Structure 1
Amino acid sequence: MSLLDSVFKRNSELEWMFDLDLVQETSHRAYLKKMALETCINFIGRAISQSDFRILKDGKRQYDDWHYLLNVRPNTDQSAADFWQDFIYKLILDNEVLVILTDNNDLLIADSFYRQEYAVYPDIFSEVTVKEYTFKRTFQMNEVIHMTYNNEKLTCFMDGMFGDYAELFSRMIETSMRNNQIRATVGLDSTQSLDEKNQSKLQKFIDKLFLSFKKNSIAIVPKLKGFDYKEEANGSNNGKSVEELAKIKRDLVDDVANILGIPTSLVHGEMAEYETAIKAFLKFCVNPLSKKIQDELNAKLMDKKEYLNGTKIEVKGIVEKSVLENSEAVDKLVASGAFTRNEVRELFGQERVDNPVLDEFLVTKNYTSAEGGEKNEAQNQR
C-alpha cells in the first residue's frame, strides 16, 4: 500500500484517474442493470397486483379473514396492491419469495432466511428476517407461502449480459465525451522560456478562461497583446452518440423483457398491435404466475378434504376480453345453448349470480334442430 501511495503522491493526476475509472464502471453497471430490471419486473408486478383473490365454497364466494388479508390489508404497513407487487418483485429478482403468517395474523414478506431441505420431511425455514427483525422460531414448509421462479440460469445469463452492456455503454460515453470536448491552443508572443512564477500566472489565467466558458453560455474575455487563444474544430456528430446511447438502453430493456415474456411494445408504450401484445402478455407471463400463486395458496390455506369438497381459492387477474366489445359473441354463446349465463359471467371474470334462472340453458328459435322446428310449426298450425 505504501508503494501505491508514493506513486500517487508523485503523480496526483494518476490517482484521480484511477478512482474515476473505478467509480464510473461500477455506477454504469448498477445503473443499467437496475433500470432494465425495475422497468420489466415492476411492469409484471403492477399487473399481478390488480388480481382478485376469491375464496369459493360450493361455487359461492366467502368473505372471511383470508379474503381481507389477500385483497385488502395483508399487514399493518402494506395494502394488498403494494404487498403483491413487492411479492412479485422479490420472486423474480431473488428467484424465490417467502411469506410468513405472524401471531397477529399479518402476512409478511421475508427479506432473508435460511432453508434447511429434507428429502421426506417438510423443509424448515430459520433465521427469517423482516425489516431487520429476526424471528427466533422456525417455520415449516406447510406453515408458510413459498414460491420459486426457477430462473437460476437466467440470473447468471443476466449478470453476464449486464456486464457486456455496461462495458459497451461506458466506452460509448467516453467516445461521446471526447467527440464533444472543447479543444483549444494558447499562443504566446515570446522568444524566452517562462520561469515558474510566470508559468503559474499564465496557468491561473487559462483556468479562469476555462471556468468562464464552462459556467456561462456567453463568455467575454479580454484580448491581450501577445496572447492568442484559438479553439480547434473537432467536428460534430449531430447527436448520433446520444441516439446510440438511448438505443443501447432500449436494447437492454428489450432483452430482459423477452426473457420474462413481456412484449417489448408494451414496455415502451407503443400502441401498434396493442390488443395482440396484451393477449400475449397475459397468456405467457401473467397467467402462469397467477397459476403458481393460486396453486400455492390452495396447497397451504386449504387442506385436502376441503379442496376436494369444493372449497378453493381462485386468482382472477386482468381479463383481455371486454364484455361490451364481445357482446355479439356472448349472445351467441347463450342463444346456442352452449353456455349458461352464469358460465359466461365466469368466462369474463365476473362472479356467478345466485339465481337458478341464470344456470338454465337457453336455445333460441334460430338454433333449434330442423326436426324440432317442423314439429313446432305443425303444432302452431293446429
Structure 2
Amino acid sequence: MGWLSDVLKRNSELEWMLDLDLTYETSQRAYLKKMALETCINFIGRTISQSDFRIVKNSKRQLDDWHYLLNVRPNTDQSAADFWQKFIYELIHENEVLVILTDNNDLLIADSFTRIEYAVYPDVFKDITVKDYTFQRSFKMDEVIYLKYNNEKLTKFMDGMFDDFANLFSRMIEVSLRKNQIRGLVGLDSNQQLTEENRNKLQKFIDKLFSSFRNNSIALVPKVKGIEYDEVASGDSKNSGQSVDELTKLKKSLIDDVANILGIPNALIHGELSDYETSIKAYLKFCINPLNKKIADELNAKLIEKEDYLKGEKIQIRGIAELNPLEVADAVDKLRASGVYNGNEIREKLGDERVDNPALDEYVITKNYQSAKSVEGGESE
C-alpha cells in the first residue's frame, strides 16, 4: 500500500475513492450439503415408510395393539408413514435413533438424549427430549427401540468434502456472474470540488445506477454534468451458458457421492429410466434390505420374548421389495408345477399371507419330473 498512498497523496481528489463500496462477500453454500443429504435420505425414508410390519404367530398374522402402532398410528401426532420416514431420517442423519413407549402406549422418536453405557449391564438412556418435553425418568436398553446406522455420523464424515464442494461451487458462481456482468466506467470532472457531500452524492448515484441496470430490463439514467458513464463489453458471450451447465453437473456429482455412500444407484436417484430394473434390484438388495433387516432384528429382540421367537413368532417387514406376481407368473408356475414349493409358500415369497386352503398346502407335480432310473425303455438282457 506504500506506493498507492504516495500516488493518492499527489492527487487528494482520488484518495476518497478507496471508501466506495465496490465489493461484496461470498455467501455460504450450506444449502448444498442440505440438498444432497435431504435428497438421498428422504428417498430412503419414503421407501421404508411404505413397509408393512407383520406380527406372525403360527404362520398367521396377528392383529393386535402392536400391529396398530407399527402400521397405522404410532402416536397421537403422527401417521405410520410420517413416523417411519422421520425414523429413517434420524437414523441416517444422526447415525442413531431412539424410540420410547410412553405410559399412554405412544411410540415417540427422541429428539435428543444421553446414553450411559455399561459393560455387563444394559445401557441407560436419560434426559430424553421429545419436542419441548424432557422425560424425568430413565429408560433401560431393553425398554426402548434403539438403532445405530454406522460407525460414524454421516454429516460429520462428509463435512470436509462439503466444504471443498462449497468453495468450488462459490468460485464457479463467481465466474458465471463475471461472464454475464454489466460493466461500466464512471468518469469525473477533475475540476469539480470534491467535498464530503459530493462524495456521498456520487456513491448514491453509482448505487442507483447499478440497481437500475440490474433490476430492470429497460433502464433510463439521467446524464449528470461532470459525471459520465460508459458501458463496456461483459466477457465472452459464446461460453455464457457453459458455467451454468458446470454448476448443474457439480450439484449432481455431490448428490452422487452421498448416494454411493448410502447404497442408492445414481441412475435411480436422478430418475433415469435407462437401467431402471437393474437399479431397483441393486437399491433393494444393498440399501433397503439391510435396513429392513436391522429394524426387524431390533423389533424382534424388544417386542417378542425369546421363548416365543424360538417357537416361530416373529415380526416381518414387507413392502416395496416384494415381487410383482404378474411379472413372475411363469416362474411361479414352474415352482409350483415342479413340487419345489406349495401354494402358501409361494404366497409368502410374493409378500402375501397364507390362506386356509388345504389345496395350497399340498405339494403337486404337474410336469413329467421323474428320476432317470424310472424311465422305461431299451432292451433287457
- TM-score (ref. length: structure 2): 0.87
Change (3 A) 1:268 1:224: same
Change (3 A) 1:186 1:322: same
Partner of 1:347: 349
Aligned AA (1:360):
E
Partner of 1:364: 366
Q: Is the 8 A contact 1:335 1:367 kept in 2?
A: no
Partner of 1:192: 191
Q: How many residues align?
A: 357
Query: How far apart in 1 are the matches of 2:264 and 2:131?
Result: 31
Task: Provide, for residues 34-72 of structure 1, a one-character-per-residue CA deviation record: whole Å limited to 9, x for no partner.
Answer: 101100000001111111110011111100000000000
Cα drift, residue 172 of structure 1: 1.7
Partner of 1:276: 278
Cα drift, residue 219 of structure 1: 1.8
Where 1:315 maps in the other structure, the secondary structure is: strand
Task: Provide, for residues 233-291 of structure 1, a one-character-per-residue CA deviation record: whole Å limited to 9, x for no partner.
Answer: 12223211111111111111000000000001111111011000000000000000000
Q: Is the 8 A contact 1:98 1:147 kept in 2?
A: yes
Q: Is the 8 A contact 1:319 1:348 kept in 2?
A: no
1:226-305 to structure 2, matched below 5 A, reads 228-235=228-235, 236=237, 237-305=239-307
Task: Provide, for residues 124-175 of structure 1, a one-character-per-residue CA deviation record: whole Å limited to 9, x for no partner.
Answer: 1111111111111110111000000124075443111111111111222222
Where 1:53 maps in the other structure, the secondary structure is: strand
Partner of 1:309: 311
Q: Percent identity?
A: 67
Cα drift, residue 208 of structure 1: 3.8
Cα drift, residue 318 of structure 1: 1.1
Query: How far apart in 2 are the matches of 1:313 and 1:44?
Result: 21
Query: How far apart in 1 are the matches of 2:359 and 2:322?
Result: 27
Where 1:325 maps in the other structure, the secondary structure is: coil
Cα drift, residue 358 of structure 1: 0.3
Query: How far apart in 2 are the matches of 1:50 and 1:96?
Result: 21
Give the unaligned 5+ runs of structure 2: 1-17
Task: Provide, for residues 50-101 of structure 1, a one-character-per-residue CA deviation record: whole Å limited to 9, x for no partner.
Answer: 1111001111110000000000000000001100110000001111110000
Query: How far apart in 1 are the matches of 2:206 and 2:154?
Result: 53
Aligned AA (1:169):
F
Aligned AA (1:192):
N
Where 1:294 maps in the other structure, the secondary structure is: helix
Quick check: 1:213 aligned with 2:213? yes
1:63-102 to structure 2, matched below 5 A, reads 63-102=63-102
Partner of 2:145: 145
Query: How far apart in 1 are the matches of 2:22 and 2:205?
Result: 25
Query: How far apart in 2 are the matches of 1:119 and 1:53?
Result: 32
Where 1:146 maps in the other structure, the secondary structure is: strand
Where 1:42 maps in the other structure, the secondary structure is: helix
Query: How far apart in 2 are the matches of 1:258 and 1:353?
Result: 41
Q: Is the 8 A contact 2:87 2:109 kept in 1?
A: yes
Query: How far apart in 1 are the matches of 2:365 and 2:147?
Result: 45
Aligned AA (2:314):
K
Query: How far apart in 1 are the matches of 2:262 and 2:100?
Result: 26
Where 1:367 maps in the other structure, the secondary structure is: coil
Aligned AA (2:283):
F
Give the unaligned 5+ runs of structure 1: 1-10, 376-382
Q: Is the 8 A contact 2:115 2:125 kept in 1?
A: yes
Change (3 A) 1:174 1:363: same
Task: Provide, for residues 283-317 of structure 1, a one-character-per-residue CA deviation record: whole Å limited to 9, x for no partner.
Answer: 00000000010000000001111111111111112
Change (3 A) 1:16 1:107: farther
Of stretches 318-327 and 90-99 in structure 1, the one that deviates more from structure 2 is: 318-327
Quick check: 1:43 aligned with 2:43? yes
Change (3 A) 1:69 1:15: farther
Query: How far apart in 2 are the matches of 1:173 and 1:362?
Result: 68
Where 1:152 maps in the other structure, the secondary structure is: coil
Q: Is the 8 A contact 2:176 2:240 kept in 1?
A: no
Aligned AA (2:362):
E
Quick check: 1:329 aligned with 2:328? no
Aligned AA (2:136):
K
- TM-score (ref. length: structure 1): 0.87
Of stretches 357-366 and 192-201 in structure 1, the one that deviates more from structure 2 is: 192-201
Change (3 A) 1:239 1:361: same
Cα drift, residue 185 of structure 1: 1.5
Aligned AA (2:80):
A
Cα drift, residue 362 of structure 1: 0.9
